[in-house]
A and B are shown apart, each in its own frame.
Chain A
Amino acid sequence: MGSIFRAFILVLLIAMPAGQARSAPEPGAFVEEFAGKAISLVSDKSLAAEERRQAFGDLVETYFDMPAIGRFLLGRYWRVASDAEQAAYLKAFTDNIVYTYARRFDDYRGQKLVVDSSREDGRFNVVSSRIVDPNSNQDYRLEWRVIDSNGAMKIVDIVIEGVSMSVTQRQEYASVIQSNGGKVQALIDALTRQMAGLKSSGG
């Protein structure tokens, strides 16, 4: 999603000291658990870039409701898309998210994620946290939108300094589809092209 955020996220992912994981299904703890695992993944220098990306992808699939996020990002175009387009889009979208986040892992500089509080917001829980950077006195505010659906907790959005990554991505995708006559295939092509570009430039 948004890259500014992406960077921060990585950071966060990176940020929690491992071992905070608790089994209690409390949203704050759930976020801490994800961040802890992500940080230990990023800090693990023994993994090759490809292995690390793979492991990060698995982690994201576990903690985020990726198919639902993908549907949400497409908005009203989801139902316009054919089954084949839906499947191709979900794959391109998920690959894209994982790839673009994972490429910033090397930027990790020991930042920590501190969970402050959690509040209910309709069907969701919103977990407030901060990224604390040891090299700067400026914290970043970060909120996680978490949903508990039939006993399975999942993260559905991250909001960095007031900017929601899901909303940002959603508006961007809508713009691509609109400027291509409402064709979802145009978005799939754009995502695929963009990934190929990043890979060839060594990003």
Chain B
Amino acid sequence: MRRVAIGTSLALFMLAGCASQGEQGDGAVYDPIEPANRLVFAMNDAVDTMVLQPTAYVYKEVIPAPIREVVRNFLDWLSSPLYIANSALQGDLEGLEHNASRFVANSPMFGLVDNATGLGLERRPEDFGQTLAVWGADDGPYLVLPLIGPSNLRDTTGLVADYFMDPINYIGGDEDARFRYQIARKVVGAVDFRAQNFAHINDLKATSVDYYARVRTIYKQRREALIRNNTPASASASGAESSGEFEEFQPTNAPIEQSGKRSSD
């Protein structure tokens, strides 16, 4: 199975490599098909308003918090093989040990109870999109996927690869049942995520002047943080990189002749 997965991912990886054009400087997201993305985004937003948000609300109000915690733990545990495999593929031995230890610590209870976090082993999700980034692939163009949401070519490639890498696909003979299981897992995951961030997401929407653009940049920044495993940017990138866009920041009481020149770009 491993061979199939790697073969698939390599093919997709090359695809991502061809299409990646880098970004347009100043932290902007490369979004060549913005009109199409905005359309899908609007449809996803409608689904959120009409279906996901009400469902998440009921879930949040009806199911007690400890049970929701169990659901979240279990979903995370189901993804353990992917976390472990991707840590290994990234050559991240520390992450491999971390995720393998989490798996061992949580498996006696089938992942229903997250003992590992209490032992100082926090959740550390890894996916093939992150692996591709570690291997040097650029984000590629920003994509909004129907129902799934914000992504980019690299991470979409990763989603497909992760699907084939998941050992659940190689257990049992009933293909339909496996497919239904995968869908159910994603749906429950989406409802749980929406419920967990209920007020935050509503607020994100209510206070934005361009919700699409806001989500687009948040997605990019969040993925970059995950790829770095939440370590500071300066540790992985070259020193100058860490301030990023702030290079041009001019405090109010700085000498005036500088602030005029430096902020031009």
User: Is A149's CB under 8 angstroms from B209's CB?
Assistant: no
The tally of CB-CB contacts under 8 A between chains A and B is 146
Neighbour of A104 across the interface among B26, B203, B230, CB < 8 A:
B203
Chain A's closest residue to B28 (CB) is: A171
A175 nearest in chain B by CB position: B213
Enumerate chain A residues within 8 angstroms of B50, measured Cβ to Cβ.
Answer: none
User: Chain B interface mostly helix, strand, loop or mixed?
Assistant: helix
A57 within 8 Å of B (CB atoms): no
Q: Are A67 and B252 in contact (CB under 8 A)?
A: yes
Q: Does B264 contact A (CB under 8 A)?
A: yes
On chain A, the residues within 8 Å of B232 by CB distance are: 119, 126, 128, 143
Which residues A101-132 have CB closer than 8 A to chain B? 104, 107, 119, 121-124, 126, 128
Question: In the complex, what residues of A have CB within 8 A of residue B222's CB?
Answer: 161-163
User: Is B199's CB within 8 Å of the partner chain A?
Assistant: yes
Q: Answer yes or no: A194 CB below 8 A from chain B CBs.
A: yes
Contact flags A152-190 to B (C-beta < 8 A → 1, else 0): 101011000111101110111111100100000001001
In the bound assembly, the distance between CA atoms of A162 and B222 in angstroms comes to 6
Of B197, B200, B248, B249, which one neighbours A147 at CB under 8 angstroms? B249
For window 202-239 of B, CB contacts with A under 8 Å fall at: 203-210, 212-214, 216-218, 221-222, 224-226, 228, 230, 232, 234
Q: Any chain A CB within 8 A of the CB of B242?
A: yes
Q: Is the CB of A198 within 8 A of B247?
A: no
User: Closest CB-CB distance, A80 to chain B, in whole Å?
Assistant: 10
Given contacts A4-B200, A147-B251, A171-B29, contact A122 B209 (CB under 8 A): no
- CB of B117 closer than 8 Å to a CB of A: yes
B201 CB within 8 Å of chain A: yes
Whether A168 lies near B214 (C-beta < 8 A) is yes
The reply to whether the CB of B49 lies closer than 8 angstroms to some CB of chain A is no
- Is A141 an interface position by the 8 A CB rule? yes
> Number of A interface residues, CB 8 Å?
57
Which A residues lie within 8 Å of B201 (CB)? 4
CB < 8 Å neighbour of B225 from A72, A162, A176: A162
Tell me if B254 and A149 are in contact (CB < 8 A).
yes
Is A161 within 8 A of B225, CB to CB? yes
Cβ B221 vs Cβ A164 within 8 A: yes
* Count of chain B residues with a beta carbon within 8 Å of a chain A beta carbon: 52
Residue of B whose beta carbon sits closest to that of A164 = B221
B167 CB within 8 Å of chain A:
no
State whether the Cβ of B250 lies closer than 8 Å to any Cβ in chain A.
yes
Q: Which residues in window 5-47 of B have CB below 8 A to A?
A: 26-29
Asked if A4 and B249 sit within 8 Å, CB to CB, the answer is: no
For A173, the chain B residues whose CB sits under 8 A away are 209
The answer to whether B245 and A170 have CB atoms under 8 Å apart is yes
**Inter-chain contact A68/B213, CB cutoff 8 Å:** no
Neighbouring A residues of B224 by C-beta, 8 Å: 162
Shortest distance in angstroms between B79's beta carbon and chain A's nearest beta carbon? 17
Q: Which residues of B pack against A, CB within 8 Å?
A: 26-29, 117-118, 197, 199-201, 203-210, 212-214, 216-218, 221-222, 224-226, 228, 230, 232, 234, 240, 242-254, 259-260, 263-265
Give me the interface of A with B, judged by CB distance under 8 Å.
2-4, 6-7, 65, 67-68, 71-72, 75-76, 78-79, 100, 104, 107, 119, 121-124, 126, 128, 137, 141, 143, 145, 147, 149-150, 152, 154, 156-157, 161-164, 166-168, 170-176, 179, 187, 190-191, 194, 198, 201, 203
Could you list 11 examples of A-B contacts with CB < 8 Å?
A3-B204, A4-B218, A72-B248, A121-B243, A122-B242, A137-B118, A145-B246, A162-B221, A163-B225, A168-B218, A191-B209
